[in-house]
A and B are shown apart, each in its own frame.
Chain A
Amino acid sequence: MGNADLRTLAALSDVSFDDVAGSVVAVDAHNWLYRYLTTTVKFTNSDVYTTSEGDEVANLVGIVQGLPKFFEHDLVPVFVFDGGVTELKDAEVSERRAQREKAEELKQAAEERGDDLAASRLEARTQRLTDVIHETSRGLLERLDVPVVEAPAEGEAQASHIAKRGDADYVGSEDYDTLLFGAPYTLRQLTSKGDPELMDLEATLADLDVTQEQLVDIAILCGTDFNEGISGVGPKTALKEVKEHGDLWAVLEARDAYIENADRVRELFFDPPVTDDYEFDTDISPDIEAARAYVTDEWEVPEAKVERAFDRIEESLVQTGLDQWT
């Protein structure tokens, strides 16, 4: 997931929620949802989010708990969902699947041992976005009038595209790949406590004194979601060599190395499958009662579990701002 090596290269700064209040954030929906899903599952008894039919909807608890963070700071989230899996990412997806299966085995072993704590921790690692999660996440967001965009492929590529076109002020993602997709500004840590972290593409390029293309080449050398990097090459070496030789091909030639599909991976970052065919209304007027009923009646989440979060959503949305009158 993501490319943590990029962290050492990225221009990051802490910002306060005040600084970003009033802006539109194109959120990499899977990335965001995944965080809340694993936290919910880790700290909640599974009865709470399992319906009488046996469907697991921990995502609904996660969404109502995650949204107040946006609304209370006067941010409008636009959730950008992944479309199909990019073919190149198959390797990563099957690796994640293998990890899930491994966690599942360990979880069963832990249950048999009677180690509940270990079991619930492992349960969190077995989470994936099921069809029910896809359906109910959209169902809930729709009732809350939170904008949703369906990406043709990668959500973070589409979110970056929306920000590049100026239809969003920031991309919201915990990953660093948004830099490679050309997102001008990314807000990180929207799912954690405290202030967000701002990742600035232009400042990153200026600090490193490289072009956007060179940054992508550096990432490919270190390894991305779509390719294995060259063994032993970290961000510092990659930066140095790309600057020295000019681009990926020259570095590979100098090292006499080979990266599978390198041309396609490059192409994917430079020209990812994205669409201009989206529209959303950032004026949110949610039907809180319908959303509550959807979560507690239709999907049987106990009211006590989501009551406070819904109250926070309601409270943060009924208060208008003075900027509406200037």
Chain B
Amino acid sequence: MFKAIVSASTLRDALDSVSVLVEECKIRLNEDDLSIRAVDPANVGMVDLTLDAASFESYEADGGVIGVNLSKLEDFVGMANADQLVELELDEETRKLNIRIDGLSSTLALIDPDSIRQEPDIPDLDLPAEIVLEGAQLDRGIKAADMVSDHVRLRVDDAEEAFHIQAQGDTDDVDFQLDAEDLIDLTSGTADSLFSLDYLKDMNKAIPKDAEVTVELGEEFPVKLHYRIAEGQGNVTYMLAPRIQSD
């Protein structure tokens, strides 16, 4: 059983965060929240999303799992204006999801959850540095890095207490330095890792510019990015595996 009403913008923020990594996913319709965990086919980027029941106008579920094609679902939800409400209801018999937006009703055929890639185990990471910044700041650093290279170095300078978003191209370099006072918060520690911009750009696309993003970083370790959606009632965590630093 699943029946819920949610604002189109909340649902879109949630779905966008997953669709940048995968085409299809399983959605867990838990009693107290809706959750999605997915990893891209190359096992490089992972997303772990939870939307608490409180982020819905109304929410009833009893622990089922459905499989969806995200671009189709996003197309349907895209028919709503940001402030409109989307009504979702699972038809257990036909295994279809009924979506109603104002007078518009549509039916989405679901995918057999067993045919979707297994949900990944969450890596157990103990990362020494934590940086809290605005989505807009992260966006600026990533855009700058993208001008010169296809990968980016995220680094915390423990001595000067600063976070650097750096990129080195064949001929050109960029370095976006954020000191402790520029950041919302900084827990300094030795941290320096290299990441593919292909992935980070996609994740960045889904992160609202006004979101408070927590970056957990280590030395040649995956990075964790989390931020809240749905006015704090939803949580998105990305994990991205590093590239090997050659020099």
Residue numbers of A with Cβ under 8 A of B are 17-18, 21-22, 74, 317-326
Contact = CB atoms under 8 A, between A and B. Distances in A.
A326 B44 CA distance: 12
Given A318-B243, A322-B39, A323-B43, 15 more contacts: A17-B41, A319-B42, A320-B242, A320-B243, A321-B241, A322-B43, A322-B44, A322-B45, A322-B46, A322-B120, A322-B240, A325-B123, A325-B222, A326-B121, A326-B122
Contact of B241 (A18, A22, A317, A322): A322
B246 interface: yes
Interface residues of B, number: 24
B241 A326 contact: no
Nearest to A324: B241
A319 B222 CA distance: 11
B114 interface: no
Given A326-B121, A326-B122, A326-B124, A321 B243 contact: no
Contacts of B41: 17-18, 21
Contacts, number: 53
B196 interface: yes
A212 B39 CA distance: 39
B interface: dominant SS = loop
Contact of B123 (A317, A319, A322): A322
Question: Which 9 residue pairs spanning A and B have beta carbons closest together?
Answer: A325-B123, A321-B43, A326-B121, A18-B41, A320-B241, A322-B241, A318-B244, A318-B243, A326-B123
A96 to B, nearest CB: 40
B79 interface: no
B120 A321 contact: no
B220 to A, nearest CB: 9
Contact of B221 (A17, A323, A325, A326): A325
A324 B34 CA distance: 28
A64 B222 CA distance: 29
Contacts of B85: none
14 contacts: A17-B41, A74-B43, A317-B244, A319-B44, A319-B196, A319-B241, A321-B43, A321-B44, A322-B123, A322-B241, A323-B43, A325-B221, A325-B241, A326-B122
Nearest to A17: B41
Interface string B29-63: 00000000001011111100000000000000000
A74 B44 CA distance: 11
Contacts of A22: 43
Contacts of B244: 317-320
Contacts of B45: 322
